[in-house]
């Protein structure tokens, strides 16, 4: 199974599919605005607490673990999070870092959709811990079922016209949001941020 550097993968996302001269591209957000523009963070929780809180809501059929607008969820370092119904980030999701730890933080999900902000390191303070995103297949009720990540189309760009965007399966999608996945420089130390498709 081949692992690829997340930093290299997401460097490609800065390229826009916006039509030249269409006026529908923002240097900061691309052609879709984030879900919580102008909304201040009023709730701070760990991802563990958020998962438990959503389980306690009594709705066992929730399609995803969701970081809502106004919420900043922190991912504990060195833990594995199995999210069989996916992860959506509308607010903020930040990963704790500990350069002394040899434990790997892992998010296992059929998709990760970022409409807000996801962060593991910045240019000023690179992420030094181990971090892995494992993209799996959607849970299936029957053998022939094929599920994909479908999102209401939010772009005003004519290239993205339609009622829904189908991002397929095993998707890590930044749709109007922002991410900062920054590991140490390859020249100094091998990057520890990876993604993997199963």
Q: Tell me the mean pLDDT in the region 34-38.
A: 74
Q: pTM higher than 0.75, yes or no?
A: no
User: Which ranges constitute the DSSP H helices of the chain?
Assistant: 6-11, 47-56
Which pLDDT score, from 0 to 100, does residue 197 have?
A: 47
Written as six digits, the tokens of 78 are: 């060195």
Q: Tell me the mean pLDDT in the region 157-169.
A: 72
Which pLDDT score, from 0 to 100, does residue 73 have?
A: 95
Q: Tell me the mean pLDDT in the region 136-159.
A: 73
pLDDT at residue 189 above 90?
no
CB 105 within 8 A of CB 78: yes
Q: Encode 4-33: b = buried (16+ Cβ within 10 Å), e = exposed.
A: ebbbeebeeeeeeebeeeeebbeeeebbbb
Which residue matches tokens 């996945």?
Answer: 181
State which H helix or E strand residue 150 sits in. Answer: strand 150-152
Backbone angles phi, psi at 160, to 5 degrees: -115, 30
């Amino acid at each position: 199974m081949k692992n690829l550097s997340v930093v290299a993968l997401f460097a490609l996302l800065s390229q826009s599919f916006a039509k030249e001269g269409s006026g529908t591209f923002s240097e900061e957000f691309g052609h879709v605005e984030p879900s919580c523009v102008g909304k201040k963070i009023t709730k701070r929780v760990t991802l563990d607490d958020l998962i438990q809180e959503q389980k306690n809501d009594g709705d066992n059929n929730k399609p995803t673990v969701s970081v809502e607008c106004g919420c900043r969820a922190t991912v504990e370092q060195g833990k594995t999070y199995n999210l069989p119904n996916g992860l959506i980030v509308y607010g903020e999701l930040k990963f704790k870092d500990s350069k002394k730890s040899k434990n790997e933080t892992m998010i296992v999900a059929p998709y990760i959709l970022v409409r807000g902000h996801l962060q593991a390191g910045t240019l000023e303070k690179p992420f030094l811990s181990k971090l892995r995103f494992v993209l799996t297949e959607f849970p299936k009720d029957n053998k022939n079922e094929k599920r994909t990540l479908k999102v209401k189309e939010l772009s005003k760009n004519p290239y993205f016209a339609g009622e829904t965007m189908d991002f397929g399966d095993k998707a890590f999608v930044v749709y109007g949001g922002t991410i900062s996945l920054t590991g140490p420089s390859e020249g100094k130390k091998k990057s520890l941020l990876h993604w993997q498709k199963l």
